[in-house]
Structure 1
Amino acid sequence: MSESPRDPIIRTVPQPADMNGNGDIFGGWVLSQMDIAGGTLAARVAHGRVATVAITAMTFVQPIKVGDLVSIYGEVSKIGRTSITIDLETVVQRRLDPTPIQVTHGTFVFVAIDDDGKPRQVRP
């Protein structure tokens, strides 16, 4: 995690309904939150609609617990003709401990799309 202060794209708290059979937060829930965060950033860059086309890397470092404060950060790592690659990092703060802990990181690729769902060029 970088030492400079930054704002999360998403900040949320998972609930008991988001747990897997082991009592931790289901990995699919985390992926969906990261996809929403990445899509939000990519749409800003693309000035319009985007669609997820790939998750080229994903690492689960530590589990997320019910009640953790989950923050998802992202930065654009590459802009292609129609695609935008976003590096995402999920950080939690445990309920009674404000120490930030990185729990996942991944690379998501989005493509800019028009109103018909067809790829379009990302405006410079």
Structure 2
Amino acid sequence: MSHSPNPHAEPLPTDQELVLKVIPMPADCNANGDIFGGWVMAQVDLAGAVLPARHARGRFATIAVNEFIFKHPVKVGDILSFFSRVQRIGNTSITVQVEVFAERFSSQGEYMKVTEATLTYVAIDKDGKPRAIPKD
């Protein structure tokens, strides 16, 4: 635990599922020395796909990034935790929210929300056309 309190520290969500954990490496940096936003976006897309996979029961694709907010930079060595929850299930699409928390290398045990996003995925058939999501 850090000796100086982090003003951005917050608890991890309890109403969402932990779907991915990853540590960014130096090769993932941008010219400023922070983790490249595109790398974070790719990880969010992977994390966001976990819950739709359970519902789609077959092929699906990212159809929209409805919102993407970078709240704080991600640093090399951060332990990133990706939490997700289903916001809406339609006839062919599923919208999910993903929140990303960083546990900084220098302040283990403290978490800071660094990114949040809302993405929509659509179930597709073998030809890439939308198909109905199976009802449970």
| TM beyond 0.5 | yes
- Between the aligned partners of 1:30 and 1:119, the Cα distance in structure 2 is 27
Q: Which runs of 4+ in 1 moved over 3 A?
A: none
The answer on whether the counterparts of 2:16 and 2:85 sit within 8 Å (CA) in structure 1 is no
Q: Map 1:55-94 to 2 at 5 A.
A: 55-94=65-104
State the Cα RMSD in Å. 1.5
**2:132 is aligned with 1:115:** no
Q: Residues 12 and 3 of structure 1: is their aligned pair in 2 closer, same or farther, counting only changes over 3 Å?
A: closer
Aligned positions, number: 124
Unaligned stretches of 5+ in structure 1? none
How much does 1:49 deviate?
1.5
User: In the alignment, does 2:110 pair up with 1:99?
Assistant: yes
- TM superposition shift of 1:43: 1.1
TM-superposed CA distance for 1:3, in Å, is 4.9
Q: Deviations over 1:47-95 (max 9, x none)?
A: 1221001001111000000000011110000011100000010111001
**For residue 44 of structure 2, what is the amino acid of its counterpart?**
M
| Identity score, percent | 44
Consecutive unaligned residues of structure 2, counting only runs of 5 or more, are 1-10
Give the Cα separation in 2 of the matches to 1:3 and 1:51.
Answer: 26
What is residue 53 of structure 1 aligned with on the other side?
63
TM-fit CA distance, 1:8 = 1.6
TM-score (norm. length: structure 2) = 0.86
Q: Which amino acid aligns with 1:77?
A: Q
